[in-house]
Amino acid sequence: MSHLSYEESKKLVMKGLIILAIVTLAEVFVALLGKGYLVKDFHLPVWLMYILMIVMSLYKAYFIVYYFMHMKYEVPGLVKSVLLPTLLLVWAVIAFFTEGKTWHDWRAQKNDRPIGSLTGLVDEKAKDVKSSGHGTVDQKENQLAPAHQDTLTKKDEHGDHSNDAETKKEAPSHH
């Protein structure tokens, strides 16, 4: 079914190995460079980093599907029936990520209000609320960032003794 001769396809395999390896290395390079690991105090803008990595990953996916899985040599009907449905994922990504962002904003909003122990440390406004009222260290420790609030309360239920009073006692003694 391959439209290439044996020698040609062997060459394509080597080419594929080299391309995938190089693109992977490029992705890691962009990640490390962009996050400041390679050159001191140098960061790439996050959006640029993300676009580069996503485009490179999509290219790798294209190469694997078209050459390794021989999609390039299938009839158009087969190609369309397999690839077109994946376009639905574009909708899913947009819809769900928007939803996630909304949850994030709700959490932040909720933590603007000084209700109970839910005063968070998410943004400047929440910070002001906090620093105005409390004096001791102990009280401040109860004011958790929202994402972490339930982690600790849940641990209580599990009888995990790593929280609050106990850890406070033990942490300083350890070096």
Partner 1 sequence: MSSEHTAHTGSHHTEVENWNGASEPFKASYGKLMMWYFLLSDAFTFSAFLIAYGTLRFSMPTWPVPDFVFSGLPGGIHHKPLIFVTIMTFVLIASSVTMVRAVQEGHRENKKGVVFWMILTIIGGLGFLGCQAWEWTTLIGGEKMSITRNPFGTHIENGTYLEGDGHDIKAGDSFTKGSSYLIHYHDGHFQPLKYKTEGGEVKTQQMGPKAFGALFFFITGFHGFHVFSGVVFLLIIALNVASGLYARRNNKYEMVEKIGLYWHFVDLVWVFVFLVFYLL
Measured distance CA(27)–CA(43) in Å, rounded: 15
Q: 79 is written with which tokens?
A: 């190609």
Task: Give the shortest CB-92-to-partner 1 separation in angstroms.
Answer: 5
19: CB partners within 8 A, 6+ apart:
63
Measured distance CA(18)–CA(165) in Å, rounded: 56
Report the amino acid identity of residue 144.
Answer: L
Task: Give the shortest CB-56-to-partner 1 separation in angstroms.
Answer: 9
Distances (CA, A) of 169 to 101, 134, 143: 38, 21, 19
Residues 48-107 interacting with partner 1 (rule: CB under 8 A): 50, 53-54, 57, 60-61, 64-65, 68-69, 74-78, 81-82, 85-86, 89, 92-93, 96-97, 99-101, 103-104, 107
> Per-residue contact track with partner 1, 21 to 40, x per CB under 8 A?
x--xx-xx--xx--x-x---
43 is a contact residue toward partner 1 (CB under 8 A): no
Kind and range of the H or E run holding 32: helix 6-34
Task: Give the shortest CB-64-to-partner 1 separation in angstroms.
Answer: 5
- Which of 38, 93, 86 has the alpha carbon at shortest distance from 62? 86
CB 52 within 8 A of CB 31: no
Nearer to partner 1, 21 or 72 (CB): 21
Residue recorded with tokens 């109860």: 142
Residues 125-144 interacting with partner 1 (rule: CB under 8 A): 127, 131, 137, 140-141, 144
Task: Give the shortest CB-43-to-partner 1 separation in angstroms.
Answer: 11
Nearer to partner 1, 59 or 115 (CB): 59
Using CB under 8 A as the binding criterion, the count of chain residues that bind partner 1 stands at 78
- DSSP 8-state class, residue 2: -
Task: Give the shortest CB-139-to-partner 1 separation in angstroms.
Answer: 11
